Amino acid sequence: MRSGKSGDQSGSRTLAGASEYPKLMRVAFVVQRCGTEVNGGAEAHCLQIAQRMSAHWQTEVLTTCALDYMTWENHYPPGPQMLGGTTIRRFAVDRPRDVESFNRLSGELHARLESSTIEEQENWMRAQGPISSPLLDYLISEQQGYDAFVFFGYLYATTHFGLPLVQEKALLAPLAHDEWPIYFRMWDDFFARPRRFIFNTRAERQFLRRRFPQLSLDGPVVGVGIEPPARVQPQAFARKYGLRDPFLLYVGRIDASKGCAEMFEWFVRFRSTTRAPRKLVLIGSEVLPVPFHDDIIYLGFVEEAEKWNAMAACDWLLVPSPHESLSMVLLETWAVGRPAIVNAQAEVLK
């Protein structure tokens, strides 16, 4: 790997015309988790952009060893891994998250949002995690070897404590929406630090400009590209899982924060009031327990091709989350010609 330091001819900048092959920019993308097994839209979005930009830059993803977003327990070994043309560089998490303690603290601060102190808000962020001292140390010691750092997601400790360390080279993709933590006063200082912003949607940019009217939140709406496979096999998916009835589909983390509790409640109520055959098929990680019901089918993780087949086979995709900055699975489902039912409380989904 090129160090990018002044003594390394291959990694140093040259005057125009001094080299036939100018150096590629070295850009680090920073996100809380990363890996093919990671079930999260922000993480998948970050990896996808890093991999696509590897055709133009020397890209890396700086992340933790965590897989489980609830506990942040170390799962992957620390160190580099090549994935789709991009180096994934992982660092150990200092300690797992105490979920019960964090939820209790969240409830306390939510109840007194305006009166909570900056210190209390910073402590909340430490409890939120993931805290990785090796990652923060790496940002400090190796920042001269990178041309830019792109931080994904404002809400996690990797961004909150990492970005200020390299703020002169930092860009922020906030992935923000209207949720209670965005109203912490500590963000007023934090959102003034990045050099530029990258937004998923116009709705996200407009919301943040309303939230921080005193700041100049400059940056383009970039979004994300969707590349459906050349061929999908909806009938094969239905045959494989014995789906003779029409079905609704949910893809993603099965979590109360994603509106899944209401989704289950509404579906069970719907099935109790109609005789029309209908199933609910779930793909993704189970954080909120899936209720036992004859018409609810939980498949867990599936291969990428299987996910596309499921989206092509469904009658409707369900996106019940009231808080979204972008829904990649919604764009993917549209790309294979299927409609969706979304939560109108999420501005970007409307």
> Under 8 Å CB-to-CB from 236, ≥6 apart: which residues?
309
Coil, strand, or helix at residue 256? helix
Structure tokens at 247: 């079905």
pLDDT (tens digit per residue) in 120-164: 999 999 999 999 999 999 999 999 999 999 999 999 999 999 999
Give dist(CA 54, CA 87) in Å, integer.
Answer: 10
Rg of the Cα trace of the chain? 22
Please say whether the beta carbons of 190 and 160 come within 8 A: yes
Q: Which domains does the chain have, with CATH numbers?
A: 9-211 (3.40.50), 234-349 (3.40.50.2000)
Give dist(CA 34, CA 67) in Å, integer.
Answer: 8
**Confidence tier at 227 by pLDDT (50, 70, 90):** confident
pLDDT of res. 6: 39
Neighbour count for residue 291 (Cβ, 10 Å): 13
Establish whether the linkage from the previous residue to 130 is cis, with ω within 30° of 0.
yes
pLDDT (tens digit per residue) in 237-283: 999 999 988 999 999 889 888 899 999 999 999 998 988 879 999 99
Query: Which of 84-98, 117-131, 211-225, 300-314 is predicted least confidently?
Result: 211-225
Nearest CA among 187, 183, 184 for reference residue 172: 187
pLDDT (tens digit per residue) in 73-125: 999 999 999 998 899 999 999 999 999 999 999 999 999 999 999 999 999 99
pLDDT of res. 22: 60
Nearest CA among 29, 19, 32 for reference residue 51: 29
pLDDT (tens digit per residue) in 28-68: 999 999 988 887 778 988 998 999 999 999 999 999 999 99
Neighbour count for residue 79 (Cβ, 10 Å): 11
The alpha carbon of residue 292 and the mean position of all alpha carbons in its chain are separated, in whole angstroms, by 29
